[in-house]
Amino acid sequence: MANSTALALSDSSWSPDFIQELLPSAERTALLYHLSFLCLGGFPKLERKIREQAIETQMLFGTSKAVLLKCAGTSSNLVTSLFPILIKAVEKNKPRLAEVYLEKARTWINDIIRAVGLMCMKNKKRPEEKRKKHADNIKGLKDALEKLEVELKKNVSDMNEIEKRIERSTQELYYLIRNNQKYRYSIFWGLFSFTRPYNDDAIRAKQDELNRLVSEKNSLRNQGWNIKIKQTDLQLQMANSLIQLGVIPDPDHLKEVQKCLDQIRQILVELKEFWEKVGVMLETLKDKTFVGEELIEDLEDMKEEFLNSIEYAKQDWQRFGECCQRAQNIFSIQSRTAYKFLEVNPSSLSKDEWKKQYESIMAKLRKINPQGSSTAAITE
């Protein structure tokens, strides 16, 4: 039996040791947000978006900490209080009392399974809703921008055409003036203003035509300017939507931020997977806890087997609770102190202060690895 217990405890498919793998990522998340926040000091709108995302992530870690604490507390209560009473009831051949405490264990376990289930939904639903909302918004903006691009191309084409027409009309007007009997011999024919009224009907008509063309050109120029203003407005809206999705729309100047946000997004995906694994783990622990439930009806002959099943479950719950306790300690730090950098406006920093913070963040990031400083922090 001891060997089978060791085998069960070492089963990596459900072992809570995987919690340790996520913790350095939690520490790295805050540092990446800090780095992004620092690099966006000269971009107020982008800086605000990063701040909002960082606060939301901080709150997510805070909720995670609370659920992990609940898991750790329930595990401790099972191991130190309920299981000992259950074992005592079985040892004294009190099956009805054993059933009561076994049912109480079921209630406690189902309670934390529901809490973990809500965390899974929260990690999954929030990004999906946000992504859908902003994806729909981005699609609408792209369609509008494409339409404006078509309008702008037509505007440019019309402007080119009107320029050609103005040039032709100007040449034709000069031709008419040069060949007009009144002005043919005047050395000042080239200095005539197009607004001067001429008695010659052809010249006057051509001048009117030219004036209309110039007016049309000005109208087209204003139209082109308005299209560009609309484009700028939509591009800013697009940038805001992209920022909400964790995408920096200016990779040429903000590659560092883009890289940070990509990593943060992946870490948050890992956090969702983490809670899904905790959910599976709890269901497995639940099954192990109640594997001997049927044996209560026949305690006289199956007492030892039932007590062994509870002892194995007790050991597993103890390991699970210890890992949850260590994990919630790290998440507590992330939710409480790791985001204090949001209290300082990065644009207010001097060049020396900015450089010092940047180098400090990079040094901390380089130190983080699954076997590095974060692992040491977990085992304290």
Give a yes or no: residue 210 inside a domain. Answer: yes
Model pLDDT, residue 89: 87
- Other Cβ atoms closer than 10 A to 82: 19
Q: Is residue 250 part of a domain?
A: no
Tell me how crowded residue 56 is: count the other CB atoms within 10 A of its CB: 12
Q: Is the domain of 338 the same as that of 294?
A: yes
Q: Does 192 reside within a domain? A: yes
Query: Does any domain span residue 141?
Result: no
Note whether 233 and 313 are same-domain residues.
Answer: no
What's the whole-number mean pLDDT along residues 87-111? Answer: 88
pLDDT score recorded for residue 248? 52
Query: Are both 239 and 274 inside the same structural domain?
Result: no
Question: 48-52, 244-248, 334-338: which has the minimum mean pLDDT?
Answer: 244-248
- d(CA 77, CA 66) in angstroms, rounded, equals 16
Average the pLDDT over each of 22-26, 102-106, 249-253 and give the range with the smallest value.
Answer: 249-253
* pLDDT over threshold 90, residue 79: yes
Residues 302-361 have pLDDT tens digits of 788 888 888 888 988 988 888 888 888 877 877 777 888 888 888 888 889 988 988 898
pLDDT at 134: 64
CA separation for the pair 325, 73 (Å, rounded): 8
pLDDT tens digits along 263-317? 777 777 778 878 888 888 888 888 888 887 777 776 777 788 888 888 888 988 9
Q: How many domains does the chain have?
A: 2
Question: What pLDDT digit, counting tens, does each position of 179-223 carry?
Answer: 765 554 444 444 444 445 445 788 888 888 888 988 888 898 888
Q: What is the pLDDT of residue 362?
A: 85
Using CA atoms in the order 319, 323, 325, 328, what is the torsion angle rounded to 10 degrees? -160
Q: Which has more confidence, 273 or 23?
A: 273
Domain-ending residue, one of 244, 276, 311: 244
Same domain membership, residue 339 and residue 302: yes
Please state at what angle helix 19-39 crosses helix 44-77, rounded to 10 degrees.
160
The percentage of residues in the chain with a pLDDT greater than 70, rounded to a whole number, is 76
Q: Do 11 and 119 have their domain in common?
A: yes
Query: Does 326 lie in the same domain as 223?
Result: no
Q: Do 236 and 302 belong together in one domain?
A: no
Whether the CB-CB separation of 47 and 355 falls below 8 Å is answered with no
**Helical pair 299-336 and 2-9, crossing angle rounded to 10 deg:** 30
Percent of the chain at pLDDT > 90 equals: 7
Per-residue pLDDT band for 240 (boundaries 50, 70, 90) equals low
306 shares a domain with 371: yes
pLDDT of residue 258: 66
The parent domain of residue 238 ranges over: 146-244
Q: Report CA torsion sign: 60, 61, 62, 66.
A: positive
Q: Is the pLDDT score of 33 beyond 70?
A: yes
Among 90-94, 232-236, 359-363, the range scoring the smallest mean pLDDT is 232-236
Does residue 118 sit in the same domain as residue 57?
yes
If we measure between CA atoms, which residue out of 73, 27, 23, 55 comes closest to residue 274?
Answer: 23
Whether residue 285 sits in one domain with residue 240: no
Select from 14, 7, 2, 4 the least CA-distant residue to 323: 14
pLDDT in tens, 115-151: 888 887 777 655 556 666 667 777 888 888 889 889 9
Q: Among 244, 259, 284, where does a domain finish?
A: 244
Q: Does residue 111 share a domain with residue 20? A: yes
Mean of per-residue pLDDT scores for the chain: 76
